[in-house]
Amino acid sequence: MANARRALFTAKLEALEVARGNDGWLRGHPEPVILLAAGRLGPKGPVLESRHIARFPTPEVIPTTALPVDQLRLTADHRGARSTFFLFALALEHDSGDDIARLYGALESPARWGVVPHGSDPEPFDLGEACTRLGHNATRIEPMLDGKHLTLEDDDIVGGAFIAAPTHESRRATVRFHFLSQDEKNDWTARVMLTVRGQR
């Protein structure tokens, strides 16, 4: 494998634009959290390469643009035949943090996850299918875990997003992951700098 063609993927979360934000009746502004997972499509399905929890200060005013508390960079590495990188994101309101911890743990197993593209038929794709069927633009999705829609008890889901990138095509661009809660009281957009050094 030493001479195999190599591709590198990096994703840096730059900022979170909060157009609308609400943490419930008499609870003030939300505490935004973004879960991120980067990986590649392997011979047996999606493979996780890195994951992170991005936290942001509670906004004092809304709308606003918030910077992450810590600078985060996700990476993925691929050698061999052409394949696809992916970046999967979940946006949540932090209340107790228990659901956030559970979902972060579940990101270790990409095969457990499915996505339903916003505005499409309700048939879910697994992450491998999403890599080949959703194209290479950021897509707003509804996340599913173990074949079921997410049910949270302690934190609140705002939304999900997904993007795929071929390993053989070099790319550098800022992508926008849009998250909108079902009640539309939370409307957030994450700006992510995406870089692919394609296989040669």
| pLDDT over threshold 70, residue 25 | no
Return d(Cα 169, Cα 199) in angstroms, integer: 7
Return d(Cα 167, Cα 163) in angstroms, integer: 13
pLDDT digits (tens, 9 = 90+) for 139-184: 999 999 999 999 999 999 999 999 999 999 999 999 999 999 999 9
pLDDT of residue 15: 98
| pLDDT over threshold 50, residue 26 | no
The CATH architecture one would assign to domain 6-197 is: Sandwich (2.60)
pLDDT digits (tens, 9 = 90+) for 104-139: 999 999 999 999 998 876 789 999 999 999 989 999
Which of the four pLDDT bands, split at 50, 70 and 90, describes residue 4?
low
Tokens read off for 136? 């290479």
